[in-house]
Amino acid sequence: MTSSTDTRTFAIGGDLPVRRLGYGTMQLTGPGHWDLPADPDAARRLLRAAVHDHGINHLDTADAYGPHTVETLIREALHPYPDDLLIATKGGLLRPGPNIWRPCGRPEYLTQCAELSLRRLRIDTLDLYYLHRIDPQVPLADQLGVLVDLQSAGKIRHIGLSKVTVDQLEQARAITDIAAVQNQHTVTSTDPVLGYCETNGLAYVAYKPFDAGITLPTANDPTAAPGPVETLRTLLARSPAMLVIPGTASAEHLRTNCSADHQVSAN
């Protein structure tokens, strides 16, 4: 659901209001999204700037980023956290090496992922916890069932899914409530999941909105595509259920991205 007075916000799960423009933290890692970035202090400063200087109150991360390093950087930079800050994290991928991502939906592994995320972030409840990928080798009811158990224990507030189709989302919602879906989405994307989320009151969280830079202008062809601010505003205007989490390791790019929702109209 959206706020009735400010189209720049969305209440995830009906009770977690956040700016629809957030910050994705995957770039705060080393090459191949492996280990620490070259300058961990700069990464911590960027996180503090996003929250304290630019008013971002939705950070997206995952235990697989590093792996484990970005959750730790978030804690080191921002704990104790502002009351209105949503740290969404994810579990369910194995990281045996740089640029290698493998789904693992075994219930015991998902339990371990969530418990260690709680410890690294130094929190008691994961407000929004995504199944990072559905593991085709494990029944979906088993994967979501363990997240429901953690939710019943007070360790997860809302459950989300990442990289899913409408069919998968409907199967999941037959098992438990889903508050958010995270799919890749750019200005050229057509994803029926977006319409489904809007109709059913779910947050649709778009990652890699610039397609890892492919849709951005270059020095050789500055008119090839809209710039970052126009791209983000176009996406935010696409649906009131659309949330966007551009990622960057650059303070300058962060400032530019964070200006994109300033002209989203209130009604």
Q: Which numeric CATH code is attached to 9-258?
A: 3.20.20.100
pTM comes to 0.92
Kindly name the residue from 65, 130, 204, 207 that is annotated as catalytic: 65
**For the chain, which residues make up each domain, given as ranges?**
9-258
Q: Is 125 exposed, middle or buried (0-12, 13-18, 19+ CB in 10 A)?
A: middle
The pLDDT assigned to 215 comes to 45
Active site residue 65: yes
For residues 163 and 182, is the Cβ–Cβ distance under 8 A?
Answer: yes
CA distance linking residue 162 with residue 185, whole number of Å: 12
| pLDDT by 10s per residue, the chain, length 267 | 443 446 899 999 999 999 999 999 999 999 999 999 999 999 999 999 999 999 999 999 999 999 999 999 999 999 999 999 999 999 999 999 999 999 999 999 999 999 999 999 999 999 999 999 999 999 999 999 999 999 999 999 999 999 999 999 999 999 999 999 999 999 999 999 999 999 999 999 999 999 855 444 555 555 556 789 999 999 999 999 999 999 999 999 999 999 998 755 433
The pLDDT assigned to 212 comes to 59
